[in-house]
């Protein structure tokens, strides 16, 4: 029997004028993710059909379950639009289920079909009762619901609805840059932004030799997890050593984190312009550490006019951890390698900094030149589904 994955768009259907752009982006994303399988996709503005080879169904569903923009789908059996085909296919398909009671529900979008929905449900119900022993109809609480959709070209029989991952298709928003540390919060921030359809690239600040290549590899592993939800993420690695050393040499201990983060934001601002990115995304969460009080955010944010999106700003750490576990980044994030924010943490970082004090300390540093140098020397790794660390390591050696 021929089956098809029947996708219904959910939230997408609210995008009236833009609907075809959303649907086409979703279709392109699905085709890309399923490029290793022999599939075909038909779509219109209300639904999408993925035709597949039966042997691939389990692998395909695993992939489909990570594609944003899919809110709900069914695995439907395909019939011709005539009663005999629908009878045959339904009866054959239903034999895979064990049940005592059932109900047929028909939707008829092809109004030229001879019978209305209710009449056809009753006819098919009677046909099923005649052919299978010891079952009954229960219209209130059936063990098995037999859904029939009658459409002009083909008709469909399905029994279950499966939840998709929701969100908007990645690429329906332009690019933004995710500040990705090796921590728990920023990969979750990346995942949540992808869910809104944002195409992300990642930026990692490292301070070799104070931070290790293990720390970098950890970030690469995190990007690989995020790539499960998109086609490709460019990871921009910024050498932050010189800037960080200058900050520690010239600024008051309690302001080093504030100033370090202002420098990161300045670099992000330039990188956004260079990469045509429309926002900075990070894993800041209000009140989590000294640099994430609202006072600190105000002082740090004041060096850029770019929108800064903080998807986990209002989540508790436990809520963030729950998502990190779901997307399989948690175990990587808790590996112990230090990143540049954790190597020299002052004892008493300021929680209520002033812009004037930060700016006056920054005058001691030739930060303009250093920032431009850091941006010009960015090292970029393109990470796709088939990214191979070994090849990359060979290039580095
Ligand atoms: P995370 O917040 O990801 O768990 P963290 O707690 O080590 O990591 P914070 O000190 O809370 O990081 O920094 C807040 C945010 O700033 C991070 O979520 C991340 O978006 C960004 N950030 C911090 N350090 C780096 C870095 N080395 N490279 C890129 N972004 C960073
Ligand atoms: Mg954090």
* d(CA 352, ligand 2 centre) in Å: 18
Pick the CATH number of 3-163 from 3.30.930.10, 3.30.2130.30, 3.30.420.40, 3.40.50.300: 3.30.2130.30
* d(CA 276, ligand 2 centre) in Å: 26
- Among 78, 83, 71, CA closest to 54: 78
Pairing mode of beta strands 70-80, 3-8 = antiparallel
Please give the pLDDT value at position 15.
Answer: 64
Predicted model pTM: 0.93
Please give the pLDDT value at position 310.
Answer: 98
pLDDT exceeds 90 at position 7: yes
- Summarize pLDDT for 23-32 with one digit per residue, the tens: 999 999 999 9
Mean pLDDT over residues 309-335, rounded? 97
Please give the pLDDT value at position 336.
Answer: 86
Please give the pLDDT value at position 389.
Answer: 61
Question: Is residue 323 a contact partner of residue 221, using CB atoms and an 8 Å limit?
Answer: no
Torsion of CA 248, 363, 375, 308, to 10 degrees: 90
Ramachandran quadrant class, 117 (left: phi over 0; alpha: psi -120 to 50; beta: rest): alpha
At 163 the three-state DSSP class reads strand
Among the bound ligands, name the one nearest to the CA of residue 268.
1
pLDDT band at 397, cuts 50/70/90? very low
Please give the pLDDT value at position 251.
Answer: 94
d(CA 76, CA 155): 9
* d(CA 297, ligand 1 centre) in Å: 13
For the chain, give the mean pLDDT: 93
Q: Ligand 1, closest atom to CA 339?
A: 27
pLDDT exceeds 80 at position 339: no
* d(CA 324, ligand 1 centre) in Å: 14
What is the DSSP secondary structure assignment for residue 133, as one 8-state letter? T
Domain ranges of the chain: 3-163, 170-394
For atom 18 of ligand 1, which residue has the closest CA?
283
pLDDT exceeds 50 at position 365: yes
Q: Ligand 1, closest atom to CA 288?
A: 11
At 192 the three-state DSSP class reads helix
Please give the pLDDT value at position 341.
Answer: 62
Please give the pLDDT value at position 394.
Answer: 52
Question: Is residue 166 a contact partner of residue 195, using CB atoms and an 8 Å limit?
Answer: yes
Please give the pLDDT value at position 346.
Answer: 78
How many percent of the chain have pLDDT more than 90?
84
The whole-angstrom distance between residue 123's C-alpha and the CA centroid of its chain comes to 44
d(CA 186, CA 282): 6
Among the bound ligands, name the one nearest to the CA of residue 329.
1
Mean pLDDT over residues 341-362, rounded? 85
* d(CA 395, ligand 1 centre) in Å: 27
> What homologous superfamily is domain 170-394 in, according to CATH?
HUPs (3.40.50.620)
d(CA 68, CA 29): 9
Q: Ligand 1, closest atom to CA 202?
A: 29
Instruction: Answer whether 3-163 and 170-394 agree in fold.
Output: no
Q: What angle do CA 121, 89, 93 make, to 5 degrees?
A: 95
Please give the pLDDT value at position 343.
Answer: 64
Please give the residue that has the higher pLDDT: either 186 or 386.
Answer: 186
Among the bound ligands, name the one nearest to the CA of residue 339.
1
Ramachandran quadrant class, 116 (left: phi over 0; alpha: psi -120 to 50; beta: rest): beta
**98 CB-contact burial (10 Å; exposed 0-12 / middle 13-18 / buried 19+):** exposed
């Amino acid at each position: 029997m021929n089956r098809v994955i029947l996708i219904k768009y959910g939230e997408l259907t609210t995008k009236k004028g833009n609907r075809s752009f959303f649907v086409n982006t979703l279709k392109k994303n699905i085709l890309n993710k399923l490029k290793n399988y022999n599939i075909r996709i038909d779509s219109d503005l209300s639904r999408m059909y993925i035709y597949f080879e039966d042997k691939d169904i389990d692998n395909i569903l695993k992939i489909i379950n990570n594609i944003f923009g899919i809110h709900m789908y069914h695995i439907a059996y395909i019939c011709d639009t005539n009663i005999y085909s629908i009878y045959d296919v339904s009866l054959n398909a239903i034999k895979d289920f064990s049940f005592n009671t059932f109900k047929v529900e028909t939707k008829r979008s092809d109004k030229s079909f001879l019978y209305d929905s209710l009449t056809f449900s009753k006819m098919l119900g009677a046909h099923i009762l005649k052919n299978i022993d010891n079952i009954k109809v229960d219209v209130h609480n059936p063990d098995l619901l037999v859904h029939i959709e009658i459409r002009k070209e083909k008709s469909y029989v399905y029994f279950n609805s499966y939840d998709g991952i929701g969100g908007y298709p990645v690429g329906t928003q332009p690019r933004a840059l995710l500040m990705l540390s090796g921590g728990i919060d920023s990969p979750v921030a990346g995942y949540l932004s992808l869910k809104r359809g944002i195409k992300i690239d990642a930026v990692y600040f490292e301070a070799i030799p104070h931070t290790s290549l293990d720390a970098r590899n950890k970030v690469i592993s995190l990007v690989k997890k995020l790539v499960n939800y998109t086609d490709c993420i460019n990871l921009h690695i910024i050498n932050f050593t010189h800037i960080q050393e200058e900050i520690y040499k010239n600024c008051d201990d309690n302001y080093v984190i504030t100033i370090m983060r202002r420098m990161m934001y300045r670099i992000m601002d330039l990188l956004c312009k260079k990469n045509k990115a429309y926002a900075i995304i990070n894993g800041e969460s209000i009140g989590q550490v000294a640099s994430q009080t609202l006072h600190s955010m105000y002082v740090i944010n004041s060096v850029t006019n770019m929108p800064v999106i903080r998807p986990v700003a209002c989540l508790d750490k436990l809520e963030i951890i729950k998502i990190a576990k779901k997307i399989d980044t948690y175990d990587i994030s808790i590996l112990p390698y230090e990143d540049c924010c954790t190597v020299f943490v002052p004892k008493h970082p300021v929680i209520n900094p002033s812009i004037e004090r930060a700016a006056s300390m920054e005058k001691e540093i030739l930060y303009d030149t250093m920032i431009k140098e850091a941006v010009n020397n960015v090292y970029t790794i393109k990470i796709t589904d088939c990214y191979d660390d070994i090849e990359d390591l060979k290039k580095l050696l």
